[in-house]
Chain A
């Protein structure tokens, strides 16, 4: 079975500072990796995804993530955050499991951007 660990439940950061949200996963098979963002009172929307190819993937709103197979990590980064980036961020791993795509989410990291 696969699992996803987001080590930080909350990350406070000042506006225009860089940020890294950590995600580690475990799986015995190959994975696809995702970051989703949830703004207050909204559903989740896809921020970025790693399927194959370059291990550095770029997403919307200036976010990027790097797939590190040896470290089984997929950390999310942004060089300069804005107040509007305040949201909950979920890392997810997708594997093919007994005839279906199984998608497992981490517990989420709340990013709080302060002025």
Chain B
């Protein structure tokens, strides 16, 4: 069974709008939550990551919000641009797992001009 549940499957947003992707997990041993961005035919690239000791992390137009009690975390893409059109994956792992990640199913984001 999937240990990390991601929604929505796809998202269309206008240029300048906000894209929001949500993820939920069950395993309370997870302590590292990265988001990866993937363009068609390419490997995923790390976008931003958070640990459960903080509730929010911002890097440029990308923000992760983390709710430890609800076991949920989300990615917000502010001022979305056509170049942000990609598939986004949330993931989770444990500190002792050496990068062994459990991935969500992915969200395809399309930003219209």
Co-assembled chains A and B = no
- Chain A interface residues (CB < 8 Å from chain B): none
